[in-house]
Amino acid sequence: MKNQKVVIAGGASGLGLAIARLMLADGVEAIALVDKNGLLLDETVGALKSEGHQVYGAQGDITRKESAHAVFAKAVDALGRVDCLINSAAIYPRRPILEISDDEWDLENAVNIKGTYHMMVAAIEHMRSRPKVEANVAGRIVNITSVDAFKAHPQNAHYAATKAAVVSLTKSFAQEVAKDGILVNSVAPAGFATDRAKKLGFLGELAAANPLGRAAEPEEIAHWVIMMASSRNTYATGENVIVSGGYIYV
């Protein structure tokens, strides 16, 4: 990741933050973290800056085109250019399938699908204007999907549907922007041990169903994201990489 400048949507906590920390350890030049939660974003950016890293915050709502493009523009202003976008912003509600309200559907679709879409469009508009460098690549986008897109689980039908949509978006975008030298891929983890996942109390169930007998640590997923985001990836596009500890094969 040396000399790379990266935007991470949903980067103030969870997997997004784990990705940021590993990228910084891997020598990334600078990162802009995007998050709607301004207080959490300021705290995270401040902590990373205190460790000597070049990190910026871009607070805003990615669920609408105008605000998503505005927040991406903030990131570009801070970084000067963007080599890679990581879309890890998502919400994960749990609700029995017969109890999901229209408002819950709308919010899930807005964040997980539309937010990802708007950030990809903003990134592509920026990357298209940049010269193609190594292996004719002008930029990279990595979306975080989920094994839930392929395997049903109780009480998360709306979340699973949005992640299946992001897998489809990834493939569609990859086809359309290949000529521009932009690589678009996704990484689909099984359950991993974020602080929020621990609080929800279902990691034990996931660990019992996993051949490795445990849920992943966020850093174990982040390594695969970085592989697809880095200059090591010069050929893969439209791919969805499943990282599940053997929980699912597709």
Which pLDDT band holds residue 179 (cuts at 50, 70, 90)?
A: very high
Query: DSSP letters of 35-84?
Result: ES-HHHHHHHHHHHHHTT--EEEEE---SSHHHHHHHHHHHHHHHSS-SE
Query: Half-sphere exposure of residue 89, counting CA atoms within 13 Å on the CB side?
Result: 33
Query: Three-state SS for 143?
Result: strand
In a domain, 249, yes or no: no
Q: pLDDT tens digit string along 96-126?
A: 999 999 999 999 999 999 999 999 999 999 9
Q: Is the pLDDT of residue 189 over 80?
A: yes
pLDDT of residue 248: 85
Query: Domain containing 86: what range?
Result: 5-243
Query: Three-state SS for 226?
Result: helix
Record the tokens describing residue 172, joined without a space. 């569609």
Q: Which residues are catalytic?
A: 159
Contact criterion met (CB below 8 Å) for 112 and 2: no
Bridge partner list, 72: none
Does the global pTM surpass 0.85? yes
Record the tokens describing residue 214, joined without a space. 């445990």
Q: pLDDT tens digit string along 191-243?
A: 887 777 777 777 777 788 889 988 889 999 999 999 999 999 999 999 999 99
The amino acid at residue 107 is L
In a domain, 214, yes or no: yes
CATH of residue 23's domain is 3.40.50.720
Domain tally, the chain: 1
In a domain, 212, yes or no: yes
In a domain, 248, yes or no: no
Query: DSSP letters of 149-201?
Result: GTS--TT-HHHHHHHHHHHHHHHHHHHHHGGGTEEEEEEEE--B--HHHHHHT
In a domain, 117, yes or no: yes
Distance CA 211, CA 204 (A): 13
